Structures are given as structure tokens and as C-alpha cells.
Amino acid sequence: MTHLITGGGGFIGSHLADHLLADTDNDVLLLDDFSTGAETNIEHLRDHSRVEVLRADVRDRNAVFDAVGRADLVYHLAAAVGVQRIVENPLASLQTNLEGTENVLEAAAEDGTPTFLASSSEVYGKSENVPFSETDDVVYGRTTAPRWGYATAKATDEFLALAYHDERDLPVVVGRYFNIVGPRQTGQYGMVIPTFVDQALAGEDLTVYGDGTQTRSFTHVADAVEITHELLETESAHGEVFNVGAPNPTSINELAERVIDLTDSGSEITHISFEEAYDEDFEEPDQREPDVTKLRETLGWAPEPDLDRILSDVIEERTDREVPAR
Ligand code: UDP
């Protein structure tokens, strides 16, 4: 079985590759332009006999059609991600997330190749209706705040996927990832856990944005990739949207304190405003928690909340390597 992972050089994509390769019947094609995915994520797979790396941008229609044409299953993970990156490069982010997805879905529809579309809890926007259920309404802010462009692009990707399912019989499943974290995630684009861990290990202040009462439900990448694979292989999941996350809303203040405890760091916590951290047009979701009833009913399980496991895995990884300058 040949699996194509777009964004295969990325944080989640590289873990998905490891997961699939554990089964010796699987071959893996990794398509990535390495704009945000790091070569180091797949260094260990470079000489693997069942891995091929295709260096291409998902906006390159020919490259996508060639790659999808060789695959039995497709995981479309390539996207411009990270709030900081989206706020700083809205145009490229929108184009990658819209054109890239359309290319992948159109190519997959040619042969009816089952496809997983990676979506995001950002799709819920600033809904306050926690926990978020897949059938909930979404709530976005003004179009002058780039963050909602990302949410809207991901929502449009979902509409496209469902339309390909309904009109072109494409077996496609949508997974909304909730703050997936773990080893190999970079802090470069503002992700909070690698940022806090690096700050704590360096003895610097941990920078909490806003008053720190906002919550996120952090989910271990190992759980996320297992669910991704299972959802794609579950026929009853096709044509459906699923929350992929562990329901453990944690405030950013609590998170910062836990990171300091687990690293035994002498760091302090400082609060900085969202305006200072991003820009004045910035808005962010306050509370975020997945309802995983549908996931549990479909797969028989859902990720268990385990913030300490996530943090200790990230701390272990980042303690063992040189912390890059930010
Ligand atoms: N955050 C923070 N300090 C940082 C980076 C992020 O306090 O150095 C906050 C951010 O404002 C948000 C939460 O941590 O409330 C999660 O941020 P991240 O960018 O990791 O994910 P997302 O905002 O997409 O949920």
C-alpha cells in the first residue's frame, strides 16, 4: 500500500510517516516544499527503502497530480500553519491552503483515492460554545484580521472536501486537529509549548500573551497520527468531519507554571499584550475544547488528556539539543 503525505516533512506529517512505516507493507511518499517543514524532521527516513521524498509545493498542480496518481491513500497535511506565520504572510497562506487543497482533491477524485483532509479547531473561530461539536455553528471576526482568513480558508477546504465527496464520490474524511503538540514541533511560528519549553530551559521569562486565562486542549501527536490513519481506513467516516483532540482545556497560565515545574527552571512568567505579540488587528479564540463523542462512537476511542506526557516528551527532546536562537 502506498501512502502519500502532503506536508510529509512537517511536524505531524513526519510522525504519521513513522507510524505508517511501522507496518512493513506500507510505502510512503512524502511531498513537501520544506517551507515550514524541516529537513531534520525526516533525516532519519532519508535512506529508508520504503520512503520517497518529493520536493514540491502543493500549489504545483502537475507535481500534485503525479504524486496522487501513485498513491493508494492520501493524507493532505500540507498547509501554511502557525498563527504568527499566517498573520505575517496572509497571501501565501491563503493561496497554499486554498489552491493546494483544491489540487489534492481534484487529483484524488480522478481515481477515487481515499483522502484525509487535515483541518483545524481554528474553524470554530471565536465560538464560545465549548466543548465544540462538529455540528456547531462557527463564529468569525472581521476580514481585516488575518487570523480569520486562515479559519475561513480551512472551512472552505472542508466545504470543498464534502462537495467532492457528494458530487464526485471521493472517499474523503475531515479531521479538525486541536493544538497537536509533541517532539519536532518548532517554536518558530509562535506555537506555545515549544516556545515555553525553550524559554524555561534557557532560564528566560515565559511570555504569556494576554491575561493567560485563555484555554487550549493540547493533544499528543502520537494520538493524532493514529486517529488520522484509522479515520481514513474507516469507511463509515468518509464524508464526515471529526474533532481530533483530547478534551483537556488548560489555561496558558497553568501551562506556563507546569512547564516551569517540570523543567525545574528558575524562569518567571511575564504577560504581554496580544497587540505587542502580534499586531493591533489581532483577535484570538478564548476557550477551546473538543467534544469527542463522534470520534469515540466511530473509532471506539479518543485521546486521553495527558499534559504531563506531552510536556515531558517535548522537554526531553529539547533538552538533548541545542536551543536555536529566536
Ligand atoms: N501563546 C502565549 N505565548 C507564546 C505563544 C502563544 O501565551 O509564546 C498563547 C497564544 O496566545 C494562545 C495559546 O498560547 O492563547 C496557544 O497558542 P498557539 O499559537 O500554540 O496555538 P493557537 O493560538 O493556534 O491555539
To test ligand 1's pocket by mutation, which of 252, 270, 326 has the most ligand atoms within 8 angstroms of CB?
252
For 165, phi then psi, to 5°, come to -65, -50
Ligand 1 contacts CB of residue 216 (under 6 A): yes
The predicted structure's pLDDT at residue 88: 86
pLDDT for position 12: 97
In three-state secondary structure terms, 23 is coil
Q: What is the pTM of this model?
A: 0.96
* 195 C-alpha to ligand 1 centroid (Å): 9
Interhelix angle 307-319/252-263, rounded to 10 degrees, is 50
- The one-letter code for the residue type at 17 is A
Q: Is residue 180 within 8 Å of residue 221, measured between CB atoms? A: yes
pLDDT value at residue 325:
45
pLDDT, residue 188, reads 83
Judge whether 150 counts as a catalytic residue: yes
Question: Quick check: CB of 191 below 6 Å from ligand 1?
Answer: yes
Looking at residue 326, its pLDDT comes to 43
| Mutation pick for ligand 1 pocket among 84, 130, 181, 192 (CB with most ligand atoms within 8 Å) | 192
pLDDT of res. 280 = 67
- pLDDT tens digit at each of 326 positions of the chain: 999 999 999 999 999 999 999 999 999 999 999 987 788 999 999 999 999 999 999 999 999 999 999 999 999 999 988 777 888 889 999 999 999 999 999 999 999 999 999 999 999 999 999 999 999 999 999 998 888 999 999 999 999 999 999 999 999 999 999 999 999 998 888 899 999 999 999 999 999 999 999 999 999 999 999 999 999 999 999 999 999 999 999 999 999 999 999 999 999 999 999 888 887 677 888 999 999 999 999 999 999 999 999 999 999 999 977 555 44
CA–centroid distance, residue 83 to ligand 1 (Å): 8
Q: How many CB atoms sit inside 10 A of residue 23's CB?
A: 11
From 140, 150, 177, 209, the catalytic residue? 150
